[in-house]
């Protein structure tokens, strides 16, 4: 008797139905790490990734939609995150980086973004852009004052580079100025989009010296007279991140708070180089989170008497998404390895940012499509990924600018105008 006949006999006798039904329900758990890349990293790296995964599900997932609707960052998350001691997985006490800092940072970002990209952005701005500015540009005294507090999440930093009139071109046309006046500097201008700045203890402000034209960096402490932060309202992406419009009106900052080791724009670029891989990882996490939600939904949602995962066109979406996620994850793991082994050039980070941001956008759109109308409801998760992908696409170097960086590297010809 073959399987089919056995099935028919069981059905006729009314036996085995439950077992078969049970077998049917045992569907694979959604898993975006299809090639088991997490098995290729060190035990410590995997351990940290899993800790972040647990933290995101326990502490962030239950409150993220409420805070998304409130357009607000949950300040209590800082205290909840402290026991993970994540910054010390990336940085040493003296501001040098751990040997595997970029891989570690990437995995932290991946796991955070699978649940909520905004949480990863809070971390990336503080532990990446702000921390690196002090670590690379600060004197020994400045590092001693700020880094321990930053490692402990007792002092939160922000990074003020972009201006209302200058995003992509900020290196060439910085309008915020600084002028030496006795033992202080006078800062004037505006900075736009500055993440964490509405509640940070300080913001690193980059400004052009009116006399020498050189770019300088300053630690501007919250509450300094002449330093005003307005929260940017009405964002349709990353609503849990608080972005500020900073206005500096004859803001006096003591020379002691000028980052003493900044060597002009070169230091700013070094900071951005350190953090660009992290943004590429945001795309991987955002896409992977959306993919896993879509697989689960396709296993649960029924139409025409079947799970929608049984439809070929839905499987086509899922497989396309999985291909994207797998290639993005592989690329970023290699990129981070190259960064940690001093092999990464700007164009490697730029290609990874261009590729992952575009594939992320494509993946979250397909995931949203799998959800049908339910895909635009916040409660189903995928809508937040869909929206957040738009911010990933544009910051830390737009698609166009990073494309020009890669294009110049591969042709030897600059197409920048």
Which span (72-80, 108-116, 270-278, 388-396) binds ligand FAD, by CB under 6 A? Answer: 388-396
Strands 177-181 and 184-195: antiparallel
Which residues ranging from 148 to 167 are in contact with ligand FAD (CB under 6 A)?
159-162, 167
**Residue 214 φ then ψ, to 5°:** -75, 150
For residue 207, give the nearest of 164, 237, 183, 175 by alpha carbon: 175
Binding residue for ligand FAD (CB under 6 A) from 73, 131, 355, 395? Answer: 395
Q: Which residue of 1, 29, 413, 417 would you call a contact of ligand FAD, by CB under 6 A?
A: 417
Stretch that binds ligand FAD, among 13-21, 70-78, 191-199, 250-258 (CB under 6 A): 191-199
Nearer to ligand FAD, 33 or 347 (CB): 347
Q: Which of 394, 407, 408, 409 binds ligand FAD (CB under 6 A)?
A: 394
Q: Which residues, 6 or more positions from 59, have their beta carbon under 8 angstroms from its beta carbon?
A: 77, 80, 81
Q: Which residues does residue 215 pair with via DSSP β-bridges, in sequence order?
A: 208
Residue 53 Ramachandran class (φ > 0 left, ψ -120 to 50 alpha, else beta)? alpha
Residue 407 sits in the site that holds ligand FAD (CB under 6 A): no
Q: Does 413 bind ligand FAD (CB under 6 A)?
A: no
Rg (CA), the chain: 24
- Tell me how far apart the alpha carbons of residues 70 and 247 are, in angstroms, rounded to a whole number: 24
With respect to ligand FAD, which residue has the nearer C-beta, 257 or 388?
388
**Is residue 400 involved in binding ligand FAD (CB under 6 A)?**
yes
Is residue 63 close enough to count as binding ligand FAD by CB under 6 A?
no
Q: Which class for 41: exposed (0-12), middle (13-18), buried (19 or more C-beta within 10 A)?
A: buried
Q: What is the DSSP string of 58-98?
A: IIITTTHHHHHHHT---THHHHHHGGG-GGGGTB-TTSPBP
What are the helix and strand counts (H, E) for the chain? 14, 9
Residue 398 sits in the site that holds ligand FAD (CB under 6 A)? yes
Minimum CB–partner distance for residue 129 and ligand FAD (Å): 6
- Asked whether position 193 contacts ligand FAD by CB under 6 A, the answer is yes
Residues 92-131 that bind ligand FAD (CB under 6 A): 125
Binding footprint of ligand FAD on the chain (CB under 6 A): 125, 159-162, 167-168, 193-195, 238, 243, 391, 394-396, 398, 400-401, 416-417
């Amino acid at each position: 008797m073959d399987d089919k006949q056995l099935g028919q006999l069981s059905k006729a006798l009314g036996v085995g139905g439950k077992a078969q039904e049970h077998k049917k329900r045992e569907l694979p758990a959604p898993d975006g790490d299809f090639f088991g890349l997490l098995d290729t990293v060190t035990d410590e790296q995997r351990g940290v990734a899993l800790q972040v995964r647990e933290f995101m599900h326990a502490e962030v997932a239950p409150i993220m939609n409420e805070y998304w609707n409130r357009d607000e960052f949950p300040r209590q998350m800082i205290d909840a995150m402290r026991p993970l001691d994540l910054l010390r997985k990336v940085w040493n006490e003296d501001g040098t980086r751990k040997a595997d800092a970029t891989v570690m940072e990437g995995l932290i970002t991946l796991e955070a973004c699978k649940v909520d990209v905004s949480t990863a952005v809070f971390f990336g701005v503080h532990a990446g852009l702000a921390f690196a500015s002090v670590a690379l540009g600060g004197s020994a005294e400045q590092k001693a004052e700020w880094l321990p507090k930053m490692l402990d999440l007792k002092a939160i930093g922000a990074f003020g580079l972009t201006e209302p009139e200058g995003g992509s071109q900020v290196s060439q046309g910085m309008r915020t100025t600084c002028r030496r006046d006795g033992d202080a500097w006078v800062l004037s201008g505006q900075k736009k989009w500055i993440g964490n700045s509405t509640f940070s203890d300080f913001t690193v402000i980059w400004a052009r010296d009116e006399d020498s034209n050189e770019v300088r960096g300053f630690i501007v402490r919250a509450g300094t007279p002449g330093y005003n932060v307005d929260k940017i309202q009405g964002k349709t992406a990353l609503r849990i991140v608080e972005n500020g419009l900073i206005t500096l009106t004859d803001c006096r900052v003591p020379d002691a708070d000028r980052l003493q080791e900044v060597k002009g724009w070169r230091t700013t670029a070094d900071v951005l180089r350190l953090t660009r891989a992290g943004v590429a990882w945001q795309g991987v996490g955002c896409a992977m989170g959306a993919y896993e939600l879509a697989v689960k939904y396709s296993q649960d949602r029924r139409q025409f008497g079947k799970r929608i995962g049984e439809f070929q066109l839905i499987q086509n979406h899922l497989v396309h998404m999985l291909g994207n996620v797998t290639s993005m994850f592989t690329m970023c793991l290699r990129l981070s390895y190259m960064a940690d082994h001093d092999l990464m050039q700007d164009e490697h980070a730029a290609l990874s940012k261009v590729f992952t941001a575009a594939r992320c956008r494509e993946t979250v759109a397909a995931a949203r499509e799998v959800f049908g109308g339910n895909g635009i409801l916040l409660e189903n998760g995928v809508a937040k990924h869909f929206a957040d992908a738009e911010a990933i696409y544009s910051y830390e170097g737009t698609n166009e600018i990073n494309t020009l960086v890669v294009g110049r590297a591969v042709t030897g010809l600059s197409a920048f105008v």
